[in-house]
Amino acid sequence: MNRLIASASLLCLVCSTLTAAEPQWERLFDGKTLEGWEGNTQVFRVEDGAITAGNMKDKITRNEFLTHKRELADFELKLTFKLVGKGSNAGIQIRSRRIPNHHEMIGYQADMGQGWWGCLYDESRRRKVLAKAPPELAKVLRADDWNEYLIRCEGKRVRLWINGLQTVDYTEADDKIEQKGLIGLQIHGGPPSQVWYKDIEIRVPPGPAPKGPAKPAGRD
């Protein structure tokens, strides 16, 4: 009996140690202010606990980005988002940089918008989709409503999930491409539209990866 108690106690201690060692989620957005973020505050603002940009009356004159001040390499990012408007487009920059004396950013983007949902795009650099999302995304995506993005960057590997479905598993083949940088929230130039971002959290380094399909969706 004593041996069973001792074994159980040891197992609890091991589990507790492993749990304590796992990286914890940190909030990047306090839900009230843009503290820690940089960008055009005439475009980006806080409403009802979310960072939002655009409206349904005025055209978006150009791409705009709100960036967090913290530079990151390997990390896990999760957030909730909503995008509305015909022809609307937005995205989440990762491992990116602001182009000096310009409104644009350069780097990887977890894309959003009709025909772009769940794709990995290379903003202002190679200017192309690096990995496409699978058709199955249409089954879980909630158009004009709240969805969740999960983004993992580890070494040269970038993985994306929307609402629990893995959409991209991309490994960078070009050694010249920088694998650290800023996180940025985008609204794309175009017709009247509005985007919201909230519940923005990171883990550094990434925690355990979600269980995905045997062959990751979206891999080219």
Q: What CATH number does the domain containing 51 carry?
A: 2.60.120.560
Condensed to tens digits (0 to 9), the pLDDT of residues 92-123 reads: 999 999 999 999 999 999 999 999 999 999 99
- The band of 212, judged by pLDDT with boundaries at 50, 70 and 90, is low
Report the predicted TM-score, pTM, of the whole model to 2 decimal places: 0.87
Residue 179 lies inside a defined structural domain of this protein = yes
Phi/psi at 140 (5° precision): -115, -15
Condensed to tens digits (0 to 9), the pLDDT of residues 52-79 reads: 999 999 999 999 999 999 999 999 999 9
Phi/psi at 94 (5° precision): -135, 145
Residue 209 lies inside a defined structural domain of this protein = no
Condensed to tens digits (0 to 9), the pLDDT of residues 122-141 reads: 999 999 999 999 999 999 99
Condensed to tens digits (0 to 9), the pLDDT of residues 141-189 reads: 999 999 999 999 999 999 999 999 999 999 999 999 999 999 999 999 9
pLDDT of 214 above 80: no
pLDDT of residue 173: 98
Residue 151 lies inside a defined structural domain of this protein = yes
Cα angle: 141, vertex 145, 150; to 5 degrees: 55
Residue range of the domain that includes 172: 25-203
- Structure tokens, 100: 């000096």
Average pLDDT in the 37-62 region? 97
pLDDT of residue 3: 58
Total tally of structural domains belonging to the chain: 1
